[in-house]
Amino acid sequence: MKTLITFLLTLILFFALQSNSISQIDSTNQTDSVIYQTDEIIVTGTRTYKKIIDIPYSVQRINQSQFKLNRKIGVNDILGTIPGLFLQSRYGNHDVRISIRGFGSRSNTGIRGVRILLDGIPESEPDGQTRIEAIDFNSIGQIEVVKGNSSSLYTNAPGGVINFLNDIQFDRSFAINFNDFGSFGLRRNGLKAGVRTDDYGFLMTYSYHNFDGYREHSEDYWHILNTVLESTPGDDSRLQLYGYFVLGLIRLPGSLTKEEFEQDPWQADSVQVSRDKRRVSNKGRFGVRFNTYFGKKNNNEFEITGYGTIKYFERTSKEYRIINRYGIGSSFRVVNHSKIFGKENEFSVGGDLLYQAGPIEYYNNINGKKGDILSKSIEGTIANTGFYFQNSFNIIKGKLDLLVTGRYDKVIFDERNLTFEVQNSVRRFKAFTPKAALNYKFTPSIAAYTSYGLSFDSPAGNELDNPPTSTDPNVLLNPDLDPQKSKNFELGIKGNLVYRGTKFFNNIYFEGTFFNSIIEDEIVPFEVFGDVFFRNSAKTNRTGLEIGGDVEIVKGLKFKAAYTFSHFKYDEYIARTIEFDTASNIVIEDRDFSGNIVPSVPKHNLVLDLSYQYQFNDNVTAFTKGHYWYVSDMFVNDGNTEETSSYNIFNSALGLDLKFNKFNILIAGGVNNIFDKVYSAFININSAKKQYYEAGEPRSYYANLNIGYTF
């Protein structure tokens, strides 16, 4: 740990010494190269409109132009070059594990520990569980990633926040037809249209996705509709309406044992096939946001958001479940800019409310068909209320800022068994999570930062399923599962070195962050006879280093790198395990996992990306890209008895951008996993039957044809 801190402090000192010479460069010799400037980019995921350079966290923003050559099936196709993120995709975009600094790695289904927003509105449920079927990358214009503890601003966000923003920031009306084709029956078609006038803007995107899958029993299809309407009722106000609808199905092949994986990694688990394990999703959301500035100098801001959701799910496994969910939510924030003792000060306060309720019906599963026997009916309610404040005070003008934030959350689970009322169960979790941070700017475009704060992560609804090993197996909600709490420290540096007018290394963006988290009662999955439940480990220590950056080597040639070092281990952890031995006998014992490495997190995660853009003339531009990804081996269970092999993945892509008057045609294609590497892309943690492994996609090809017209 001391070595890592020393390295980062040396890096900070080096750029501090370089800052004077950088600031003397003649700004009049500016080239037409695209420059990533932290002192200009403004993000909203931190609940205020701030420039990246002024935020004392590790923050990145990705624009649509940065992933236009990518395949865009899953979030791993888009966010793989951000240090600190580790993405494990089972089946495209609809069962992906997003892990930031280890938070989220525990989830064997859905996203946990990372707050997911779409246009600033939570896609995450009140309990923090998230599925991102509604995220359509053809509709997304920007993605904001806030890494590290964000529990002082959002519920259940110890790992950070990812805010997907629909592409409403366009200047002229347009229409685009996009078509994607690829291996394993991949087909994505759709239409994107935008209307812009002096008074309003309107965006609508429809996508149809169909994929046969590269494993047996892994096909899926989706219909996704996204809309945004914005207007300006006054000079200092804005009104936005958001809506989406999603309908789709995905079949799940299940995990394999090591022997099964080595024999045929593309096969499906026979039990899941016999049950026709699948998810049918049908959901929609409508939201309204009003924002206005007021005061003598417009130094105050008020924003209020309201939204409603309707969801219908079918889930087949051992039982056939039908889930109906109805939700309402709202949030508000008030921001004041003023001076205290002649120093700039920004104070904001806000709150969130999200209520979701509905029945879950359990039927017998007859080879994937719903039986006539209703075995159980549960009326469930999940509610979350939270209030936060944050205050940013400028201690040294243009140099040093102090940020103090805090949030109080209360999460309530209420489940009633309509067929057996004795099992009614209620659990409440609440906490206050403060955080303090400092941000020091050596130059307007280079800053060092540090922070310390607490986080709180309540169990999700499915994590509260009561195992037979609990102290009271007769109630619905696990009485033994506690929230996950952590103490989080980070120290980092970020910024730009902009050498205008030079031929080589014209623009350099960099970031480096050291972090340490001490986690108490970490929530960890385990299995009992094929069913997944969750328990608390006593204490976990996570230490890591994130380094990333990109540089324009010469005009048009860009290199990007992201490296994450993770050393996560259990300091104290004793738990009862239920496993099968080699003779398929049930073995129950208490085991001490203290000192073991946390599973499903690689020690080394490296991504390299090299791209080149060449403009032949005003109408023709060519692109090409090479991508390399290295992941070291990972343990698959708390006992550290098995581990995956490390893997190297190579991808490539090329494209042509053509402009003819008002028409624009983008032709692109690529190859993923060029050397056809067989690797385990997803780990099913702590499987009692030792079915840990799920294969990543083999060599695959794809092609894109987008035809656009600007009015």
Structure tokens of 468? 């037979």
- The strand pair at 96-100 and 586-592 is best described as unpaired
What is the structure's pLDDT at 522?
A: 87
Q: Which fold has domain 2-710?
A: Maltoporin; Chain A (2.40.170)
What is the structure's pLDDT at 500?
A: 67
DSSP secondary structure letter of residue 711: -
The backbone torsions φ and ψ at residue 9, rounded to the nearest 5 degrees and listed phi first, read -65, -35
Q: Which helix (H) or strand (E) holds 18?
A: helix 2-23
For residues 134-159, one letter each, b for 16 or more C-beta atoms within 10 angstroms of the residue's C-beta and e for the rest, the string is bbbbbbbbbbbbbbbbbbbbbbbbbb
Residues 6+ apart with CB under 8 A from 166: 118, 119, 139, 140, 141, 203, 205, 226, 228, 242
Cross-strand bridge partners of residue 517: 488, 542
The string of DSSP letters for 429-492 reads EEEEEEEEEEEEEEETTEEEEEEEEEEEEPPPTGGGBPPTTSS-TTSSB-TT---EEEEEEEEE
What is the structure's pLDDT at 93?
A: 52
Q: How far apart are CA 380 and CA 131, in angstroms?
A: 19
Nearest to 451 by CA among 393, 514, 512: 514
Q: Which residue has the tokens 């995990």?
A: 255
Structure tokens of 496? 């730009």
Structure tokens of 390? 């944050």
**Distances in whole angstroms, Cα of residue 676 to Cα of each of 255, 323, 649, 673, 699:** 20, 39, 8, 5, 5
Residues of the chain falling short of pLDDT 50: 3-5, 7-8, 10-34
Neighbours of 401 (CB within 10 A): 25
Structure tokens of 174? 């347009």
- The strand pair at 114-118 and 160-166 is best described as parallel
What is the structure's pLDDT at 637?
A: 92
Nearest to 290 by CA among 307, 309, 270, 305: 305
What is the structure's pLDDT at 463?
A: 87
The pTM (predicted TM-score) of the whole model is: 0.91
